[in-house]
C-alpha cells in the first residue's frame, strides 16, 4: 500500500495479535510494520513472522533499535498500564504518535464517535477501557439531550476473555472508566463495575448503562442513543442494543435518588458486543471493541 502509514504494535498477546490481523485484513490506510513483544515463544510473534511482519522479543527497547522503526508513524500499545508508563517514556524522544490500549491514561481519553476530532494532534491518546468504549458513547448520547446527574455502568465479560493484562488492571479499569464517564461522557458523577462471568459456554460481552437525569423528552433521548449505537456499530459491527431504551421516574426511596440529588428519571440502556472473530473468539467482544476503536483512531491519525 504505497499511501499507507506504517504502524508498530507493542504487545504480542491476544489484543495485540487481534489488532495486527485487523490492520492487515481490513485497513486501507495502515501498513503493518513491526510487532514487539517480550515472550519469544508467543503465538502473536509467531503469527507475525508467518505474515511477513518484522518482530522483536525485546519489548520497546528492541522496537526502537529496529531499522523498520524509522518509518513507523503510529505505535499502538497493547501491553499493560504499568508497562505503558515505561513504554511512553522510551517512545517520547522519537516523535511517534502513540495509541494506548491500556488503562494508563497518560494522554487524553478518546472514544471515537464522541471526541476523536478534539485530540487528533495529541502525541499520546488513551483508549480508556473496553467498558469505556462500550458505554461512554451512550452516556454522551444522553448528555447531549439532557444533563446526566449520575451514570453507572456494569460491564460483564466472559472470564475466558479476561487475560492476565485485564486481571492485573482491574483497579485501573474501574477508575479510568469512571473518570471517562464524567470527562468524555458528560456525567456529573460516574461509577463503573466489571463482572468476570465464568459461565460455560462463554457469554458475549454485555453492558448495562444507567443514567439519572431530570425531566427530559423521552423520544429525543431514545433517538440520540439509537443514533450513537449506529455510529459505534459502523466500526464494531457486533455492537447493538438488546432492547428498547427504558426510561422511568426515580422513586424517592430508590438509592439512585440520593446519589443524584433526589427525583428525576432513570434511563436504562442494555447492550451486547459480539466480536468479529478475526483472531479472538466471537464471545470476546470486550477485546474486539478495544482493537476496533484503536484501529479507528490510528486510521484517522494516519489520514491526518
| Spans of all domains in the chain | 5-127+288-303, 130-281
**112 is an annotated ligand-binding site residue:** no
Of 33, 76, 99, 130, which residue is the catalytic one? Answer: 130
**197 is an annotated ligand-binding site residue:** no
pLDDT of residue 40: 97
Sorting pLDDT into bands at 50, 70 and 90, what band is 2? low
Closest CA to 6 of 26, 32, 41: 32
**190 is an annotated ligand-binding site residue:** no
Percentage of the chain surpassing pLDDT 70?
A: 98
The average pLDDT across 283-289 equals 96
Distance, in Å, from the CA atom of 207 to the CA atom of 141, rounded to the nearest integer, reads: 15
Active site residue 211: no
pLDDT of residue 172: 82
pLDDT tens for each residue of 173-205: 899 999 999 999 999 999 999 999 999 999 999
Phi, psi (rounded to 5 degrees) for 153: -125, 145
Sorting pLDDT into bands at 50, 70 and 90, what band is 133? very high
Helix (H, G, I), strand (E, B), or coil: what is residue 294?
helix
With a cut of 70, say whether residue 64 has pLDDT above it: yes
User: What is the distance of C-alpha 142 from the center of its chain?
Assistant: 19
**161 is an annotated ligand-binding site residue:** yes
pLDDT of residue 258: 74
pLDDT of residue 162: 85
Farthest-apart Cα atoms in the chain, separation? 65
The average pLDDT across 29-57 equals 98
SS3 of the chain: helix, strand, coil, percent, to 5: 45, 25, 35
The average pLDDT across 274-293 equals 96
Is residue 114 within 8 A of residue 84, CB to CB? The reply is: no
Q: Dihedral sign, CA of 21, 59, 293, 303?
A: negative
**162 is an annotated ligand-binding site residue:** yes
Is residue 148 within 8 A of residue 109, CB to CB? The reply is: no
**11 is an annotated ligand-binding site residue:** no
With a cut of 90, say whether residue 228 has pLDDT above it: yes
**265 is an annotated ligand-binding site residue:** no
Sorting pLDDT into bands at 50, 70 and 90, what band is 139? very high
Percentage of the chain surpassing pLDDT 90?
A: 87
What's the pTM? 0.94
Closest CA to 139 of 147, 39, 9: 147
With a cut of 80, say whether residue 169 has pLDDT above it: no
Closest CA to 184 of 123, 139, 214, 251: 139
The CA-atom distances, in angstroms, between 119 and each of 78, 80, 229 are: 20, 22, 22
The average pLDDT across 235-251 equals 96
| Mean pLDDT of all residues belonging to the chain | 94
CB atoms within 10 A of CB 147: 15
With a cut of 70, say whether residue 123 has pLDDT above it: yes
Distance, in Å, from the CA atom of 224 to the CA atom of 145, rounded to the nearest integer, reads: 7
Domain 130-281 annotated CATH 3.30.360.10: yes
Distance, in Å, from the CA atom of 213 to the CA atom of 142, rounded to the nearest integer, reads: 9
pLDDT tens for each residue of 10-28: 999 999 999 999 999 999 9
pLDDT of residue 260: 63
pLDDT of residue 303: 82
With a cut of 60, say whether residue 54 has pLDDT above it: yes
**261 is an annotated ligand-binding site residue:** no
Question: Can you tell me which residue has the cell 503493518?
Answer: 32
DSSP for residue 139: H
pLDDT tens for each residue of 84-119: 999 999 999 999 999 999 988 899 999 999 999 999
pLDDT of residue 12: 96
Domain 5-127+288-303, CATH:
3.40.50.720
Q: What is the DSSP string of 285-301?
A: HHHHHHHHHHHHHHHHH
Amino acid at each position: 500500500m504505497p499511501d499507507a502509514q506504517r504502524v508498530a504494535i507493542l504487545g504480542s498477546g491476544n489484543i495485540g495479535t487481534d489488532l495486527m490481523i485487523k490492520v492487515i485484513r481490513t485497513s486501507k490506510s495502515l501498513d503493518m510494520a513491526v510487532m514487539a513483544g517480550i515472550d519469544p515463544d508467543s503465538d502473536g510473534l509467531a503469527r507475525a513472522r508467518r505474515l511477513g511482519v518484522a518482530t522483536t522479543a525485546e519489548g520497546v527497547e528492541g522496537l526502537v533499535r529496529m531499522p523498520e522503526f524509522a518509518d513507523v508513524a503510529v505505535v499502538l500499545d497493547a501491553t499493560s498500564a504499568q508497562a505503558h508508563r515505561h513504554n511512553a517514556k522510551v517512545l517520547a524522544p522519537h516523535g511517534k504518535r502513540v495509541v494506548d490500549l491500556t488503562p494508563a491514561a497518560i494522554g487524553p481519553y478518546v472514544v471515537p464517535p464522541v471526541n476523536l476530532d478534539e485530540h487528533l494532534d495529541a502525541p499520546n491518546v488513551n483508549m480508556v477501557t473496553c467498558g469505556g468504549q462500550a458505554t461512554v458513547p451512550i452516556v454522551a448520547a444522553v448528555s447531549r439531550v439532557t444533563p446526566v446527574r449520575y451514570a453507572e455502568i456494569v460491564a460483564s465479560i466472559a472470564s475466558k476473555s479476561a487475560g492476565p493484562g485485564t486481571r492485573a488492571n482491574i483497579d485501573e479499569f474501574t477508575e479510568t472508566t469512571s473518570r471517562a464517564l464524567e470527562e468524555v461522557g458528560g456525567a456529573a458523577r460516574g461509577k463503573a463495575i466489571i463482572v468476570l462471568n465464568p459461565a460455560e459456554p462463554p457469554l458475549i460481552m454485555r453492558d448495562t448503562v444507567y443514567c439519572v437525569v431530570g425531566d427530559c423528552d423521552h423520544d429525543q433521548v431514545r433517538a440520540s442513543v439509537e443514533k450513537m449505537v449506529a455510529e459505534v456499530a459502523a466500526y464494531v459491527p457486533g455492537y447493538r442494543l438488546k432492547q428498547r431504551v427504558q426510561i422511568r421516574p426515580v422513586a424517592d426511596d430508590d438509592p439512585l435518588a440520593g446519589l443524584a440529588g433526589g427525583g428525576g428519571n432513570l434511563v436504562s440502556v442494555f447492550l451486547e458486543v459480539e466480536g468479529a472473530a478475526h483472531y479472538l473468539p466471537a464471545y470476546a467482544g470486550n477485546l474486539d471493541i478495544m482493537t476496533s476503536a484503536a484501529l479507528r483512531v490510528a486510521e484517522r491519525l494516519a489520514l491526518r
